[in-house]
Amino acid sequence: MKNLIKKLTEAFGPSGYEKKVRKLIYDEIKNYVDSTKTDKLGNLITHIKGKGIKVMFAAHMDEIGVVTSYIDKNGFIRFSNVGGFFPVHSLTARVIFANGSVGVIGEEQRKTMSDPIEMKKLYIDIGARNKKEAEKLVPIGSFGCYQRKFQDMGQRITSKAFDDRIGCAVLIEAAKRLKQKVKNDTYFVFTTQEEVGLKGARTSAFDVAPDIALAIDVTGTGDTPDAKKMAVELGGGAAIKVKDRGIVCDPRIVDALISTAKKNNIPYQLEVLERGTTDATAIQLTKGGVPAGAISIPTRYVHSASEVLDTDDVDAAVRLIVAFLKKDRSSIID
């Protein structure tokens, strides 16, 4: 899967600008599903025909980014965040804009190095000598994202935008392994604008009207030096979400995922995330309500230009989805 992950993560795609990512996903998955469509908000909805209940899996295509908001007389660009942009991860990072222009994130001089890094004191240096030059290259309202290549470190890999291109890669690989053989009517949905309010999940779920749904996304870990205590680690298997800031996962789905993992000898761990949420939160509240859960891929340094994950966890997530869909899940809502 590494070549697929490389293509997806290196693609440009901040919230609202998912077109290139959507085209890559469509080209990869079109021969492994029965139908595809793109809705008005840009969600790619793919369908594998089955019987009984509708099961929806969602992974978001967008990544965090920036948007230019002001240019000073010397050509330095001020910007606003698009999604959960963390200043601490950004100093001297490179960003690329939709037209290919590249800049470096700098900051105003701090009085002491112990002072906090503040968003309002950051700027982007695109090499312009003045405001006129900068405006030609990157006009106000230009969207950008981190520029960072995928790197294969062996068992583990690093790149920008694992959140959530890795979820997209997992669903594509699951579709390939399933070969259109599922028990229930199955939808793999690749959503837009998750990072700015779970927007694509809300509209696509209204369209699909699933009986049960699961989001595929990343989650943080507690396995780095002096990390906040969290019972998720790289290499520990797919993380079955129990709760996060936005959702209490349906216990029936949690139990079904655990029993599936045990029966198929798939490594798994349980996730309780104190901050952050996924598309499952929006899907759960669609129409009359949807029993929802999530499978997460443990990831270090989330929302940075160099996220890190373990390929065994990716494979475990794929295997869990495939095994889950090979059994009729109607009993979850009986």
The length of the chain, given as a count of residues: 334
Chain centroid to CA 312: how far?
A: 18
36 - beta bridge partners? 46
Dihedrals phi, psi of 188, to nearest 5 degrees: -105, 115
| Token pair 């969207």: residue | 143
- Tokens encoding 318: 């794929």
Give me the sheet containing 156-159, strands edge to edge: 151-152, 156-159, 307-310
Strands 77-82 and 65-71 come out as: antiparallel
Q: What single string gives the DSSP state of each residue in 108-166?
A: PPPSSTTSPP-GGGEEEE-S-SSHHHHHHHS-TT-EEEE----EE-SSEEEES-HHHHH
Neighbours of 331 (CB within 10 A): 10
From CA 207, how far away is CA 28, in angstroms rounded?
A: 23
CA nearest 162: which of 176, 146, 173? 146
- Give the catalytic positions in this structure: 194
b/e per residue 180-192 (b: at least 16 CB within 10 A): eebbbbbbbbbbb
CA nearest 34: which of 171, 170, 188? 188
